[in-house]
Amino acid sequence: MHTFPIFALIALLTANARLMAEPSLVITLAGVAERVRAQNPDLAAARLRIDEAVGREKQAGLLKNPELENSLENNADFREGKLEIGFSQRFPVTDRLGLEKGISVTQIKAAEAEVREVERQLVAGAKTSVIRVLAIRQRRELLRNQIALASEFSEKLSVASQKGEGSALDAATARLEAASISAQIRQLDAEESAAVGELKPLLGMHAGESISVGGTLAPPAVPSGDVNPALRPDFQAAMLEVDAASQGVDLQQALRYDDVEAGLFAAAERSEDAPNGYDNEGIFGFRFRIPLPLWNKNEGAIEEAQATHERRKLEATALARNIRLEAESDRSQMTEWAKLIRELDETLLPLAEEQSKAADEAYSQSQTDIQTVFRSREKSLQLAATRLDALREFHLARVRHEAALGNH
């Protein structure tokens, strides 16, 4: 007779032990950004772009390696010969090396901005998932309250039915309503699992790790409409690309002139001076080579660099406009959702609550049927759900607005 309670107690203790052995990660909306920065693997991979750019900067702006030349000549009997050793170095006649170094430094700054852009997008995605989880939980709490009311109502109807003061059909209908709400809760459980599944990779979690989302959705508060595209990392990267493209034009213009080559050489020569014998002679000299820009003046590469510069400027201008439009649209959505929430709180929800109480009283006095009671309760639940949906959409728009402003 006591077998089931014993097994239930063992199962409960086992579950508690498992939970104690595997504590879940507690995350809040305010702590999402820090967790993403610390644990997200995509962000960690993106940071290597900076190391790549630093490596390119170290390699840029270096002289070409010097060249050591030597030659050996001799006649068939090895009595006469010449040995020559030379050392040469190429030097740019323009500021090519400085321009290459400047472009690489700009590219490091652009890589840093690109990493911040990856972080901005990842944080916005993680916050979106957290908001969805919080909205689902608040919706589930609302349904649980409705189940409690429906169960209490069903119990009253069952007692009245047993006393012959009510309809057994009405009591069964009330139980069906509670059961249908329970089915909605199970649906929300599945939606929460999906939202948590989207959140875990963004937080850098591994398979099998559990997570607990804490907090609630705060009341709506529309932020100011000030927009500064310069705060967005993707716009910062775009402007740095404009600078790099401008430097690229100067570099291509500098490449019209090839490097000059200068060198020193020394030679020792042994030759026959008949009939006087052999003479040994040493020679020292200086060699200088200047390429002539007659056929290739790098004109095509210069035109390409100029077009790239213009394209980068237009792309940055378009991005700034899109940032302002995005922020304006998100703020407009927040304003509308906040208006709807205020209307629901001040007018519609109190009216629905009043109507629901009136229907309950009318049914208790046999002045209406049970369907009227259910319809009034359904309307109250629908309006409460509408408010939660509006609050969720407000916070999703707020996350997009913050991301549009470069805040995270």
Per residue in 94-116, pLDDT tens? 999 999 999 999 999 999 999 99
| Per-residue pLDDT at 225 | 79
If one compares 12 and 228, the residue with the highest pLDDT of the two is: 228
The mean of the pLDDT values for the chain is 84
Average pLDDT over residues 270-282: 72
- Which has more confidence, 8 or 264? 264
* Residues 220-242: tens digit of each pLDDT: 999 887 899 999 999 999 999 99
2 pLDDT higher than 80: no
How would DSSP label each residue in 220-272?
A: P--------GGGSHHHHHHHHHHHHHHHHHHHHHHTTSPPEEEEEEEEEEEEE
Would you place residue 72 in the very low, low, confident or very high pLDDT band (cuts 50, 70, 90)? confident
**Rounded to 5 degrees, what angle do the CA atoms 256, 258, 263 make?**
160
Q: Any idea of the CA torsion for 151, 154, 155, 161, to the nearest 10 degrees?
A: -170
- Domain range list for the chain: 24-60+92-258+293-405
Q: What CATH fold (topology level) applies to the domain 24-60+92-258+293-405?
A: Outer membrane efflux proteins (OEP) (1.20.1600)
SS3 helix, strand, coil % of the chain, rounded to 5? Answer: 65, 15, 20
> For a pLDDT cut of 90, what percent of the chain falls above it?
49
Interatomic CA distance for residues 85 and 68, integer angstroms: 7
Q: Are 227 and 323 in contact (CB under 8 A)?
A: yes
Residue with tokens 């979690």: 205
